[in-house]
Structure 1
Amino acid sequence: MQLTKKHKTTAQFLVLVLLAFFSFLMLEITLRYIPASSTASFLQIKQTEVTGLWYYLPVFYMHVYSSVCCLVAGFTQFSPALLKKRRSVHRAVGYLYVGVVLLFSAPTGFIMGMHANGGWVVVLFFTVLSVLWWGFTWQAVTAAKKKDFRRHRFMMIRSYALALSAITLRLWKWVLVQLFHPAPMDVYVVVAGLGWVPNWLCAEYIIYKIRSK
Structure 2
Amino acid sequence: MFKKAQFSILHGFWLLIFAYSCLLMAEITFRYRGFSLDANFLMIKQTEIEELWWYRYVFYVHVCTAIFALPAGFTQFNTYLLNKYPRVHRSIGYLYVFAILVFAAPSGLLIGSAANGGLTSIIAFELLGLGWFYFTWRAVRLASQRKFDKHRDFMIRSFALTCSALTLRFWKLALVYLFQPNPMDLYQIIAWLGWIPNLLLAEFIIYQKNHKL
TM range (shorter): over 0.9
Deviations 1:162-188 (A, max 9, x none): 010011000000000111111111111
Once residues 205 and 7 of structure 1 are traced to their aligned partners in structure 2, the CA distance between those partners, rounded to angstroms, is 21
Q: Aligned with 1:35: secondary structure?
A: coil
Opposite residue 204 of structure 2, the aligned amino acid is: Y
Opposite residue 25 of structure 2, the aligned amino acid is: M
Give the CA deviation at 1:88.
1.3
Q: Structure 2 stretches of 5 or more lacking a match? A: none
Give the CA deviation at 1:17.
3.0
Opposite residue 190 of structure 1, the aligned amino acid is: I
How well do the aligned residues superpose, as a CA RMSD in angstroms? 1.3
Identity of aligned residues (%): 48
Q: In the alignment, does 2:138 pair up with 1:134?
A: no
In structure 2, the partner of 1:179 is: 178
User: TM-score, normalised on structure 2?
Assistant: 0.95
Q: In the alignment, does 2:53 pair up with 1:64?
A: no
User: TM-score, normalised on structure 1?
Assistant: 0.95
Deviations 1:124-167 (A, max 9, x none): 00000000000000000000001111011010000000010011
Q: Aligned with 2:96: secondary structure?
A: helix
Q: In the alignment, does 2:180 pair up with 1:193?
A: no
Once residues 176 and 164 of structure 2 are traced to their aligned partners in structure 1, the CA distance between those partners, rounded to angstroms, is 18
Q: In the alignment, does 2:141 pair up with 1:151?
A: no
Once residues 94 and 201 of structure 2 are traced to their aligned partners in structure 1, the CA distance between those partners, rounded to angstroms, is 24
Moved over 3 A (4+): 2-14
1:1-213 equivalences under 5 Å are 2-213=1-212
Once residues 3 and 45 of structure 1 are traced to their aligned partners in structure 2, the CA distance between those partners, rounded to angstroms, is 51
Once residues 12 and 143 of structure 1 are traced to their aligned partners in structure 2, the CA distance between those partners, rounded to angstroms, is 28
Deviations 1:40-88 (A, max 9, x none): 1111111121112121101000001111111121111111221121211
Matched residue count: 212
Give the CA deviation at 1:6.
4.3
